[in-house]
Structure 1
Amino acid sequence: MFPDPCNGGSTNYTDYCTGQSTASILLGLALALGTIGSSIPQITRIVGRKSSVGISGTFLLLANFNQYMVVLNCWMLDFPQLLGAFQSTSCIWDLIPFFQLLGLWSCYYIVWAAYIYYYKQENGKDSHYQYQFMTFVIFSALVIISMVGGTVWTIQVGPCNAPLYNFALSLGVISTIIGVCEWTPQIINTYRLKQQGSLSLIMLGIQMPGCGIIIIYYVFLDPQNWSTTIGYCFTFVQEVILVAFLVYYKLYYKGVVPDPSEVPQFFGGKKDKKEEKAGLLGDEVTSDYNY
């Protein structure tokens, strides 16, 4: 076991175990399983429909960066508890928040990959696809580099080290800033499309109240650093707005539903579209343009 730089080089990490009541453990497990399970409907819906329509690629980009930063934040600050779990099973329950965060991010990562794949099938390799694909590759590389580098750094100096602690805290702050506008592209996309598409209302219907419960859990039952918790507050508000939009367009909206191909992307490249015009002799001439 690695010497603990925050405890005089001791190899006993069980001192970091906070101890959880049975009620807290059960609630934490329920939240973790519920959070991961709530994302399954979104995965099955986009795969089942084989369509990217209705989902904002910009939202998925922001969501993945947001969730991963929280994962890395929690990983670095709670690393002693992780090592303690190898020494005592009682420490395992302290890791419930981390695995809950890891599970949610993993689901978003899968949905993002599926979105890029089906977008390519529907629209080809246009500029939006190229932007999304390159961002996905760069993000994946950054995950590997930051996780390995963060782990080595934490082993060497421990979370008690001021620079490391401030770095991990800054990840939470950046995640919070992203969280303020994370769902905004999806809200705008849904407003423009006037339809649900491949976006799962079941997922949101589960995640929205679940997010509220997580806030309560992280604040009162298993207190986490405020930088880990506050992002959920902004997410909860945005999910309420998005659910209201989806319910309205699904049940009450009677207006015109636009063609998805006519709706521009919120950010990150534009779709290439063929415009047909009549030539002088009545033949059709096509030209490419971006909007």
Structure 2
Amino acid sequence: MTMLVSETCHFETDWATNALTGFLIYGLIVSYVPQHLRIIRAGTSVGFSPWFLLLGSTSSAAGMLNMITLQWPVIRCCREVSFGKCIEITAGVFQVGVQWLFFTIILVLYMMYYPPNLKYIQLEVDTHDSRPVQHIRTKLKSSEWRLSIIVSWAVAGHLALLIFTTFLLLLTTPPSPDPSVPHPRQITLWATFLGVSSGVLAAIQYAPQLMRTYRLKLVGALSIPMMIIQSPGGVVMAVSIAMRPGTDWTSWIMYAVSAVMQASLLLMCIIWRMRQRRLGIDDFGRPLGESAAVDQDASTEDSSQTQGEEGTVSVVVEGEDGDNAREDTPLLKPGNVVRRGGILGWIQGLRK
């Protein structure tokens, strides 16, 4: 038995694969950080589609657990090899884990920095005098905020279910009696399900975001530098995973599909960025000369329009579907840029 384990856990050092994996992990971190910082610095997550975040989070989770399932015999070898060798042979798992973690952080930031003035339905009250129309916030959640809350719980439930099922199968399924077959049939079927579902989710992941960005005709909170790095990086990542022992096409297909779809979103954002410069507006539809002043005076504007316990902010989104907006009409008014609510505000929103 000891001889069998030692033979199974004998791995030759592949410097090329290790260097590529290390480069990709570094690239993932460098590519996602600009997106995280962009949301935090802007103080808003305007421009993201909750469907895009739902599909992306569930797709990356399925891809990560597919990798863990297929490389489980390799992971178990960490008990027989040195710590450094363990890091080397499980680098592929760490690679997809970093991708899942950093994408899921986008969802967390989306909820934390969701504009408070868009969380609840606001009514316009005409006072029939010289005063302007009053905007009164109700206690009814807006449809997109309700959807965002459902998305958060769905992502958490999906992750918990996949983790439970994966480790239940890995820890209870007896090993394959045939040495030439690396995985038992149940494990192979589950890994295939995870890989195929991950690929399908990745294929449709960008459709809602492409539609939303097309309708807004603005870049919003999306990070162009992140997409510039990740579009070609997705192809390289697929190749890197394919080179790992124990993986198959179900492990890398998600990343190849995502790279193609993300390249399409990148092209659209570049076109809208050029349009914004021609119209003299920023990524949120604000006149460029007023952007700084709006950021500095945001808290003052919020307090001056407060109604009730938490206050309301007047917001007008014109022509979100692109049908009624003139080309020179900013689609997102300055009121959309709000101060962040913080982690406590996010948790409170989920509980409501």
Could you say which TM-score interval applies, normalised by the shorter chain?
Answer: 0.7 to 0.9
Determine the structure 2 residue equivalent to 1:119. Answer: 114
Is the 1:32–1:96 contact (alpha carbons within 8 Å) kept by the matching residues of 2? no
Task: Give runs of aligned pairs for residues 135-284 of structure 1, distance below 5 A.
Answer: 135-157=151-173, 158=175, 160-219=183-242, 224-252=247-275, 254=278, 260=317, 262-263=319-320
In the superposition, the TM-score normalised over structure 2's length comes to: 0.66
Determine the structure 1 residue equivalent to 2:100. Answer: 105
Pairwise CA RMSD: 2.6
Determine the structure 2 residue equivalent to 1:41. Answer: 34
CA distance in 1, matches of 2:231, 2:158: 29
Give structure 2 stretches of 5+ with no counterpart: 120-140, 176-181, 286-315, 322-352
CA distance in 1, matches of 2:117, 2:245: 45
How many residues are treated as equivalent by the alignment? Answer: 257
Q: Secondary structure at the match of 1:12?
A: helix
Is the 2:92–2:244 contact (alpha carbons within 8 Å) kept by the matching residues of 1? no
- Tell me whether 62-71 or 233-242 shows the greater mean CA deviation: 233-242
Letter in 1 for 2:189: N
In the TM superposition, what whole-angstrom CA distance separates every residue of 1:104-161 from its partner, at most 9, and x where no partner exists? 1111111112212322523113122122212312321332343134213202215722
Change (3 A) 1:11 1:138: farther
CA distance in 1, matches of 2:170, 2:155: 22
| Larger-gyration structure (1/2) | 2
Q: Secondary structure at the match of 1:119?
A: coil
Q: Secondary structure at the match of 1:243?
A: helix
Change (3 A) 1:219 1:82: closer
Cα shift at 1:174: 1.0
CA distance in 2, matches of 1:261, 1:38: 32
In the TM superposition, what whole-angstrom CA distance separates every residue of 1:152-193 from its partner, at most 9, and x where no partner exists? 320221572212210111110111111111111111111111
In the superposition, the TM-score normalised over structure 1's length comes to: 0.79
Cα shift at 1:16: 4.0
Change (3 A) 1:177 1:169: same
Change (3 A) 1:185 1:14: farther
CA distance in 2, matches of 1:96, 1:16: 15
Determine the structure 1 residue equivalent to 2:52. Answer: 59
Change (3 A) 1:16 1:105: same
CA distance in 2, matches of 1:172, 1:10: 33
Give structure 1 stretches of 5+ with no counterpart: 1-7, 265-291
Is the 2:9–2:80 contact (alpha carbons within 8 Å) kept by the matching residues of 1? no
Alignment of 1:93 onto 2:93: no
